[in-house]
Amino acid sequence: MTHSVRSLRRAWSGLRPLAPEEVLAGDLRASFVAPLRTVAPRGLGLIGLRAWHGKRFRREGTALVGVNLVRRDGALVETLPMTVHLGVSLLDGLPAVVVSYPRSAPRPWPWVRDELRALPDGTVVGMTVVDLPGLRSLGGTPFLLVPGGGAT
């Protein structure tokens, strides 16, 4: 199925909430949907995630933590640590897995949060929200995450 920003925003409230333990420990490969396939990678490059590949999640005791993955010289490199918890979506007030970034992260990351839910086929839909007055109301910017795509 082909997804777009519009179709994923419309579907968001009906997507299945994930429990943090469902976010799969391991690597999730990211992809963008139309019309973001060209512009999103360039935009991420401007704010420190050039060649973004996806996210890596791992358990630390009872917590789920992670890092973003970027591709450098053919290898995956960990960057920009994340914390993960079950929370409430800023977009619709319903449950979502919330990925947030530390206050010490470079700007704009302390204000960015990714909210995660699942499509029926198991694909994880991420919605990036900038948690600042005026920007929250713009809606989320969707991306997709699928298992695999680790280091090659």
Sign of CA dihedral 41, 44, 49, 55: negative
Domains of the chain: 5-147 (2.40.128)
pTM reported for the whole predicted model:
0.87
pLDDT at residue 87 tops 80: yes
What tens digit of pLDDT does each residue of 18-38 get? 876 676 678 999 998 876 767
pLDDT at residue 101 tops 80: yes
What tens digit of pLDDT does each residue of 105-136 get? 998 989 999 999 999 888 999 999 988 877 77
| pLDDT for the residue 151 | 46
Q: pLDDT > 90: what percent of the chain?
A: 47
pLDDT averaged over the chain? 85
C-alpha 79 chain-centroid distance: 14
| pLDDT for the residue 71 | 92
| pLDDT for the residue 12 | 95
Sign of CA dihedral 106, 93, 1, 145: positive
